[in-house]
């Protein structure tokens, strides 16, 4: 069942990659990137259990933290036009 879950997560990554390559707006691509990041965390955890080496969970944690920070930074860039700037006022 672990290998079936690994295959399902790999198929999820492939479909999200399709959406990232043909998404019409930049937000579609960002959503697909975030989904690929989450699926990669799941894939690392499952792969560690499949090989009997659960030390891979540390890699999954670090990957998740990097994913979150990256997505928030890119969103702030697209909203404000820069990475500095104020957060509160819309437009």
Partner 1 sequence: MSLVIDILSNISLLVGSLFCLAGAVGMLRMPDFYTRVHAASLIETAGAGFILLGLLLQAGFTLVAAKLLMIGLLILFASPTASHALARAALLRGLKPLLAEKGEQPSKP
Task: Give the count of beta carbons closer than 10 Å to the beta carbon of residue 69.
Answer: 10
CA dist., res. 53 & res. 45, Å (int): 9
Cβ atoms 42, 56 nearer than 8 A: no
Q: Hey, what are 46's tokens? A: 């499952």
By rule CB under 8 A, what string of x and - marks binding of each residue 19-58 to partner 1? Answer: x-----x-xx-xxx-xx--xx-xx--xx--x----x--xx
User: Footprint of partner 1 on this chain (CB under 8 A)?
Assistant: 1-2, 4-5, 7-9, 11-12, 15-16, 18-19, 25, 27-28, 30-32, 34-35, 38-39, 41-42, 45-46, 49, 54, 57-58, 60-61, 64-65, 67-68, 71-72, 75, 78-79, 90-91
């Amino acid at each position: 069942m672990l290998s079936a879950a690994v295959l399902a997560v790999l198929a999820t990554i492939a479909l999200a990659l399709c959406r990232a390559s043909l998404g019409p707006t930049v937000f579609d691509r960002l959503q697909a990137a975030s989904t690929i990041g989450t699926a990669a965390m799941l894939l690392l955890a499952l792969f560690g259990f499949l090989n009997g080496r659960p030390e891979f969970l540390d890699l999954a944690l670090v990957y998740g933290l990097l994913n979150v920070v990256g997505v928030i930074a890119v969103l702030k860039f697209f909203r404000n036009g820069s990475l500095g700037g104020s957060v509160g006022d819309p437009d």
